[in-house]
Amino acid sequence: TSLTMQNSTDNSFVKKLQSSGRSLVVFYGSQTGTGEEFAGRLAKEGVRYRMKGMVADPEECDMEDLVNLKNIPNSLAVFCMATYGEGDPTDNAMEFYEWLQNGDADLTGLNYAVFGLGNKTYEHYNEVAIYIDKRLEELGATRVYELGLGDDDANIEDDFITWKDKFWPAVCEYFGIESTGEDISIRQYRLEEYEDAPDRVYTGEMARLHSLKNQRPPYDAKNPYLAKITVNRELFTSGDRNCMHIEFDIEDSKMRYDSGDHLAVYPINNSELVEKIGKLCEKNLDTIFSLINTDEESSKKHPFPCPCSYRTALTHYLDITQNPRTHVLKELAEYCSDPAEKEKLKLMASTSPEGKALYQKWIIEDNRNIVHILEDTPSCKPALDHLCELLPRLQPRYYSISSSPRLHPSTVHATAVVVEYKTPTGRINKGVATTWLREKIPKEDQAALTVPIFIRKSQFRLPTKPQTPVIMIGPGTGVAPFRGFIQERFSAKEDGKQVGQTVLYFGCRKKTEDYIYQEEFEKYENNGLLTLKLAFSRDQPQKVYVTHLLEKDADLIWNIFENNGHLYICGDAKSMAVDVRNVILRIIQEKGNMTEEQAQAYYKKMETQKRISMDVWS
Ligand code: FAD
């Protein structure tokens, strides 16, 4: 069970720690950056407790080196691990996870603690962190502080700082260290501004300079493909919401996809918001700057591609629309000239009950982003480079691909609802990616509109044999991957193959408003391929949802299960996926004459056989 890493000496994090006089290493399993951010905060805080820390990506480390960490006196490994999808580790933690599962390393003498990042609306809440915490102990390691679990559905920042607040004293007690008591802010990066523009200036690339101008395959998250938008049309026929059907041209990209894969889009921030930050911070956004890691041992030299202009950083690299986390408020407080404003920001960054309540109200419920905070705290004039250090990275947005490569080999389709809502302070918040995409409507006589994309493989797959019957449950935009699945089965049928029962449960508000892809689905129904089951919640006095249809169709569903069929659920993780699961469990129990436990085991077995799959998001 050796990790397939390159040269283990290069990847020895223990050597790195030793050579730089550190004793704390914080690993992260992160998909959207939060785990990495939390890890960074813990590593940075170590200094206060005489534990110089380092953040480490398990993918870039030889994790077998954990057995050697005990050679460093008073050393500690912390794991900030996110759980993803159906209880899976994040991509960068996959190998480490497998090594823990299959290996039997002796970790006696290793001190550790785990904080998990999860979401309670998902069935496999924080499973990865729970497993790692348990497994490390089984392998002989010593848990220095109890497992912390963060719930992204509620307030993960609150969970994290509450855990951290008890974690540090426990660490101090365990190692017999006294806190230095210093609560000074330490910058991780130093600023360099350039009077004359340097030769190499990034303008939105993810890694290689000019990679968006001189495109070279293979394309991936670090090297996205600039795809032309060939179609961008509205799918809703009335009402005040919008849903886009977008087609991206991948003809010249050499990229391949399968139905069920995800399309990732790198959006940019709204220019008005970017300019506002420049004004509020009183900074010329054309200034070219670099942030350079003061920790020379770190593999991360810059927080984002540098040098670039402040405008580029705020437009392409930084998230300026999320609710900022407490450590950001704490640093912002130092820039307030009004004592009352300073106290308010400090209070919100504290772990006191009043502080937490105020953060919950003023930041989360009132939904303030960094621009709103600066507007509503007028004496706060942060150094823009410091703000750039503190803000999280802007993340790509994912979309379930809504086409099949059999019908559309040279285009990838996405189906996206435009996010726009009013906040309690009366502001209109607009979704970064969807609002940006909405403007990108190709016109014949105009230059092509392009978007940086890449394709992420998924586990969401049709059965290999087209005869296998399938049930697809996808209300709203949850229907996206099923459009691809249906196209796939249609194509198999056209090729003369026998195609099994193909049942789609779709639901929306009104037939005449948001029934997307109606014509296409009806065509497949008429041609005998598709069985359509529709729930229009607002078309009759009492609300009807897909779950109601499922309840009525217990016999059909049980019959498909017993004929080796597959079940797919896609869409809103919050309520829909849980409700559907419960209905299915009841059907299994009733039709299979089972107890609740037996029904659950039956369901679990179908999951492990990949006969029940979910593609849900919140
Ligand atoms: P953002 O700027 O990211 O804003 C969205 C955020 O705003 C939300 O997370 C929420 O915090 C907040 N918000 C939204 N509405 C409200 C409200 N009414 N009140 C308060 N706060 C609110 N989306 C699709 O449309 N189609 C798909 O096929 C699809 N597939 C996905 C597949 C996967 C694997 C994943 C992870 C997500 C998928 N999504 C899909 C969601 C998609 O990735 C984006 O999250 C979505 O398009 C919003 O992006 P945005 O940048 O426009 O909004």
pLDDT surpassing 90 at residue 513: yes
pLDDT surpassing 90 at residue 1: no
Q: Phi first, then psi: what are they for 465, rounded to 5°?
A: -90, 125
Ligand 1 center from residue 380 Cα (angstroms): 30
Average pLDDT over residues 349-368: 96
518-526 vs 480-494: helix axis angle to the nearest 10?
30
Contact criterion met (CB below 8 Å) for 118 and 88: no
The confidence score (pLDDT) of residue 201 equals 97
Which residue from 245, 244, 255, 269 is spatially nearest to 456, judged by alpha carbons? 255
pLDDT surpassing 70 at residue 9: no
Q: Which of 316, 398, 422, 460 most suits a substitution to test ligand 1, by most atoms within 8 Å of the C-beta?
A: 398
Torsion of CA 59, 60, 61, 64, to 10 degrees: 40
Distance CA 252, CA 238 (A): 36
Which residue from 62, 64, 45 is spatially nearest to 115, judged by alpha carbons? 45
Ligand 1: which residue has its CA nearest to atom 27?
Answer: 399
Mind telling me the catalytic residues? 400, 570, 615, 617
The confidence score (pLDDT) of residue 6 equals 43
pLDDT per residue over 517-557, tens digit each? Answer: 999 999 999 999 999 999 999 999 999 999 999 999 999 99
SS3 label, residue 472: strand
Ligand 1 center from residue 294 Cα (angstroms): 35
Ligand 1 center from residue 419 Cα (angstroms): 7
Distance CA 497, CA 610 (A): 23
Q: Which atom of ligand 1 is nearest to the CA of 478?
A: 28
Ligand 1: which residue has its CA nearest to atom 50?
Answer: 431
Arithmetic mean of pLDDT over the chain? 95
pLDDT surpassing 50 at residue 5: no
pLDDT per residue over 316-334, tens digit each? Answer: 999 999 999 999 999 999 9
Q: Which of 397, 429, 460, 616 most suits a substitution to test ligand 1, by most atoms within 8 Å of the C-beta?
A: 397
Ligand 1: which residue has its CA nearest to atom 14?
Answer: 419
Which residue from 507, 451, 434 is spatially nearest to 477, judged by alpha carbons? 507
pLDDT per residue over 212-260, tens digit each? Answer: 999 999 999 999 999 999 999 999 999 899 999 999 999 999 999 999 9
Q: Which of 419, 423, 436, 517 most suits a substitution to test ligand 1, by most atoms within 8 Å of the C-beta?
A: 419
SS3 label, residue 544: coil
Cα–Cα separations (whole angstroms), residue 275 to 130, 304, 377: 43, 20, 17
Average pLDDT over residues 387-414: 97
pLDDT surpassing 80 at residue 179: no
* Strand stretches in 308-459, DSSP E: 308-309, 397-400, 411-417, 420-422, 428-430, 450-456
Distance CA 271, CA 598 (A): 55
Contact criterion met (CB below 8 Å) for 229 and 394: no
**Owner of token pair 């950001």:** 328
The confidence score (pLDDT) of residue 67 equals 96
What pTM value is reported for the model? 0.93
Percent of the chain with pLDDT over 90: 89
Q: Which of 153, 235, 399 most suits a substitution to test ligand 1, by most atoms within 8 Å of the C-beta?
A: 399
The confidence score (pLDDT) of residue 183 equals 67
Ligand 1: which residue has its CA nearest to atom 39?
Answer: 399
The confidence score (pLDDT) of residue 181 equals 64
Nearby residues of 345 by Cβ (< 8 Å), 6 or more positions away: 329, 330, 332, 333, 336, 377, 380
* Ligand 1 environment, Cβ below 6 A: 262, 267, 321, 367, 397-400, 415-417, 419, 421, 431-434, 477, 480, 617
The confidence score (pLDDT) of residue 572 equals 85
Higher model confidence: residue 500 or residue 572? 500
Ligand 1 center from residue 441 Cα (angstroms): 20
Ligand 1 center from residue 280 Cα (angstroms): 28
Ligand 1: which residue has its CA nearest to atom 19?
Answer: 421
Ligand 1: which residue has its CA nearest to atom 32?
Answer: 399
Nearby residues of 218 by Cβ (< 8 Å), 6 or more positions away: 254
Ligand 1 center from residue 243 Cα (angstroms): 12
Q: Which atom of ligand 1 is nearest to the CA of 399?
A: 30
SS3 label, residue 208: coil
Q: Which of 153-167, 171-185, 472-486 has the lowest mean pLDDT?
A: 171-185
Ligand 1 center from residue 331 Cα (angstroms): 28
pLDDT bin (cut points 50, 70, 90) of residue 2 is: very low
